[in-house]
Amino acid sequence: MIELVLPDGTKMSVESGVRGVDVASKISEGLAKKAVAVKVNDTLMDITTPITTGGAFSIITDRNPEGLEILRHTAAHVLAQAVESLYPNAKATIGPVIENGFYYDFAGIIIKEDELPKIEAKMAEIVAADYPISRQMMARDEAERFFAERGEPYKVEIIRDMPEDVKEVSIYTQGDYVELCRGPHLPRTGMLGKAFKLTKVSAAYWRGDATKESLQRVYGTAFFNEKELKNYFTMLEEAERRDHRKLGKEMDLYHFEEFAPGDVFWHPRGWTLFQTLIDYMRKRQKAVGYVEINTPQLMNRVLWETSGHWDWYQENMFTTTVEEKAFALKPMNCPGGVLVFKHGLTSYRDLPQYIGEFGRVHRYEASGAIHGLMRVRAFTQDDAHIFCTPEQLHDELQNVVKLMVSIYEDFGMTDMKIKLSTRPAERIGSDEIWDFLENGLAEAITDMGYTYEINAGDGAFYGPKLDFKLRDAIGREWQLGTLQADLNLPERFDVNYVGEDGQKHRPIMLHRALFGSLERFLGVYIESTAGRFPFWLAPVQIMVAPVTNDQDDYAKKVLKRLQRAGIRAEADLRNEKISYKVREHSLKKIPVIAVVGKNEAAEETLTLRRLGEEKQVVMKLEDAVKQFKLDARYPSVEYDD
């Protein structure tokens, strides 16, 4: 007998070798019908796989994120079966689940997008056939012979490249389709239902290596019901409408050139927006004790060897040689911050120290990975490095999180998830240091009432980190801020402080970026708001628009008064109809259009049209100026009235 512990703490004794579906049936027949897999001690298993070890046990249904991944994994297999059935020369290679869907790569064929409906129809036939999906274990050498005899060289290569300690592999069968796969999968093809859709085709390479065979990739997505599928494509349509590249052009914010791939050409309005973000962050940081520095962008190779970046990150760095010495554009701001802190001997009484830098960094991204503001080669981080004692670590971690959450709230971004990225396989530092820092991060956010997910092995090479994911207005998740804990760089740079005992001690170094990258944050924020920035952030807050040229002098007076009050205002003095001006500036997402006609000029008033509102408001010029000065204030920043 083995003992299973259910999510509510209930213990259940069952015979060793029992299937997950049988355990589910003992709990509830309805639950057994909904089950797509089970989890035993954090290991996902098919519902028909014998359970031979006790421990934590849960049933995966359509309500679990893992359930959707299993559904999509099965959809990828159904796609592969359909393609091999329709195209006898096709060889299925690999077909993983990806964010929002799945894909499968095929050798030996070329598929055009207009062929996708035909493949979908064949997939529907396979679903309707409701084939049982069975799993069997096969000795490694036997599996290699099995796939070789079937003429599947890609499966053979996968098996040969497995670690030597792998003695058995799992094989899945549905109808006449056989696949090498770890699983788990749905128990029957019929459970896939009708809520799947193939979306596009593209070229790919075997194992992502451009020197290897060219493959045909077919993308798709799947959900547990057709409503979710419909909602997904509605979201895609909305995302296309909000695309920051499209809106950036319409709003005249920035553009890109082939002369500088992955680097932004900011236009006046875009640069104003960028600098306003920095000014806001500068004020928020200064209020809680940060000082600001600036460090060189080009630094000697020796620095990067000391930090470890030369060994661990060189392929992503831009390098050059000057006077026979190797230099690199900084991909990180951290070493510069360390050198500033190290410049003078610090006492424990001086800690913690908060050192901020709006540092521009350069990282090599493959040309195919560059994507608007979201993925660039040169960007600015709202970076800061906090140096503290081990005793201060808990409070300082929490202080960063509090500031981060407050800032996100100012931008209306409150739906947040936290991931704890733990030690990667290749890293610097001892396990004792990693244990201390990982536990410190986990305890700090747990004590604040936050939950987190483990992102195993995704920490930086020098320390673990917290990644903060925010959900935007249409439900997409974006990773923005990060908080890293580090004892390794202080060690490598021999950084010390004088403790209360008069001896030298290593400080802990916290790395944090709240926006992350200003460029990427703006890309995310443009799409989340559809370009409708709050008044305080908008690069042009008010557009003054005279009805006719007879009101140009008054419009100029209004403009001067607004600008003198610190309002970012412009005037449209073109000889165009007022309806044309209003429509054009509304499309450019100007928050307020101040219309001035004959009556307004005579009475020194403004007729105000706020973006997205039908109602117009007439205000005295001076009253409007007072109101706009209040509206232009940064949220969460104290002002002296």
Catalytic sites, residue numbers: 334, 363, 381, 383, 385, 465, 511
Paired with 254 in beta bridges are: 266
The candidate with the shortest Cα–Cα distance to 524, out of 406, 379, 374, 411, is: 374
Angstrom distance (rounded) from CA 479 to CA 416: 10
Alpha carbon separation from 50 to 13, 16, 332 (Å, rounded): 15, 8, 49
Contact by Cβ (8 Å): 336, 343: no
Parallel, antiparallel, or unpaired: how do β-strands 508-517 and 378-388 relate?
Answer: antiparallel
Q: Amino acid letter at 143?
A: A
**Residue 145 host element (H or E):** helix 140-149
Angstrom distance (rounded) from CA 530 to CA 238: 9
Q: Phi/psi zone of residue 316: left (φ > 0), alpha (ψ -120 to 50 degrees), beta? A: alpha
Query: In the chain, helix, strand, coil percent, each to 5?
Result: 40, 30, 35
Angstrom distance (rounded) from CA 411 to CA 470: 11
- DSSP type of residue 330: -
Residue 155 half-sphere exposure, CB side, CA atoms within 13 Å?
Answer: 25
Token digits for 594?
């101040």
Alpha carbon separation from 129 to 36, 47, 197 (Å, rounded): 18, 20, 18
Q: Amino acid letter at 476?
A: R
Neighbours of 362 (CB within 10 A): 20
